[in-house]
Each structure stands twice: as structure tokens, then as C-alpha cells.
Amino acid sequence: MRLNENIAISTSKVLLVPYDAHHVQQYHRWMEDPSIREATASERLSLDDEYENQASWRESRDKLTFIVCAPLLRDDDVSRTDEKGAAVLAGVGDAVGRMVGDVNLFLSPWDGDDEGQEQKQNGDGEEAKTYYTAEIDIMIANPKFRRIGLGRAAVATFLYFVRRHLDGILAEYMGSLDTAAAISKPVMKDVVAKINADNKASIVLFQALGFKQRGERNYFGEIEMVFGGFGETDEWVKTSSSSVMGDGYEELVYDRSRLEE
């Protein structure tokens, strides 16, 4: 997605930056680990393919990706300029040693129950709505950074951002759909995490954030953890307290000027 191309999100617990070409080498190193590929249901890719993926995810209207980094600690991680306001310096605040994983969202049309299908139609005086769903993935690739609350802070902060920018996210996504879908009101029905049923860490993480299991373990050994009604209420904004996300949520300019020097 283009929406987050120039946005970094900072809290006292985590830093999220847009996935950029200068992150790809480290990302590729993470994905060389078979246990990471298994946990994230990913295939092994060449470095060239990983560069292609990074570029295509930026263009894809259905995928929103951030790299998760350790939180900003020192003033020199942030440049403050009059024209741009506060900015995170690309390659500094998110230097290789500070990158810890990624978090992303994948949008698709909702194919839920009859109730949702009915509301999809333009009933008597009722506003026509089209429902969408979003799948979320989280990875804290570097084991040194696991079990210190980073995964949970990253998901909570990311979904807080998504909820704040939902109209823009859906608008960008719907640019890829036909006009019929675009004339009714778009609604994000739910956010779903598909997790290997043996992945206790991930299940506990999503449970603690209010996600509930839907159905049983499927043929692939996965369960679905769902946050229902994500775009229909402001429940998520209420749920995501600063004790989980960290204090001082800020959206900053992602400044690439140092990369060009």
C-alpha cells in the first residue's frame, strides 16, 4: 500500500517503519531460518525474489506492511525540522541491529454468514454496505527480542493505526475493485489471525488482545483468532491501552534523506 509509505509510528515500546528496499537483506536473512518459515507459513525465496516482493507489496492495494523495530531511545534517532515536523531517519532509527520483525495486514472481501450477505444488498432505506475482512500476521524474528512484549505492542500499535486510518486504507484497497463494490459503504468486518494450533506464543498474544477463537483446527492444522466488528465500533481504540502499546503514540515522517547521502 502507498498509504504508509512515508509514515513511521513510535511509542515507548515499539517503532514501526514502512518496509523499504534497505530492509530486504535483513528480512531475507530472517526468512532463511526454517523455523521462521514454518511459523509464518512462508516459502524460501531468493534475495532477488525478496526484493521483488518488497517492491510489489508497496504497490499492492491489499497489503499494508511495517517493519517492527526496537523503540526509539535517544534524541539522535529522530530529526526534528521545521518544515517536516518530527521525523524518523531511515537507516538510523531502523538500522539493521534494531530491526526485529514485521507486521502486516492483507485485505479481502468478506465471505461471512447470511446476515452479512443481506446487508450487502441495498435494502429498504438501509444504506448498502460491502464488508471486508483483514488477515494479520506478526513476526518477531530475532529470538533475543521475544517475550519482552514487543510482539504484543507491535500488533496493538499497528491495529490502532489501522483503525485510525481505516477509511483511507479501504479507499486505497477499493481502488482495485470494480465500481459496483465501490458505491456502497465499505466496512471492515473483522480482523483474523490464522495461527498454527501448536503456536502457543502467538495464540496467547492474540487472546490477550481480545481476539477469540472461531471454529476448530482446520485441515492445515491452523486455528483462526478473530477480532469481530473491528471497523463497526471503536472497541479496538478502547481496548488498546498505552500499557500494551506503550506511551506517546506518534505518527512521524519517515525521512529517507540520509539513505541518499
What ranges in the chain are assigned the alpha helix state H? 24-31, 34-39, 47-59, 114-120, 150-164, 166-174, 179-182, 200-208, 235-239, 242-245
In angstroms, give the least distance from the CB of 96 to ligand COA. Answer: 18
Contact between 200 and ligand COA (CB under 6 A)? yes
CA 237/CA 246 separation, integer angstroms: 14
259 part of the interface to ligand COA, by CB under 6 A: no
The Cα angle at residue 27 between residues 55 and 155, in degrees rounded to 5: 90
Q: Judged by CB under 6 A, does residue 157 bind ligand COA?
A: no
Q: Does 246 bind ligand COA (CB under 6 A)?
A: no
Contact residues for 181 (Cβ-Cβ < 8 A; gap 6+): 109, 130, 174
The residue within the footprint of ligand COA, chosen from 6, 12, 184, 199 (CB under 6 A), is 199
202 binds ligand COA (CB under 6 A): yes
39 binds ligand COA (CB under 6 A): yes
Are the beta carbons of 107 and 62 closer than 8 angstroms?
A: yes
**Interacting stretch for ligand COA, rule CB under 6 A, among 81-89, 131-139, 178-186, 230-238?**
131-139
Residue 4: CB minimum distance to ligand COA, A: 20
Q: Can you give the binding site for ligand COA, defined by CB under 6 A? A: 36, 39-40, 101, 137-140, 146-152, 193, 195, 199-202, 204-205, 208
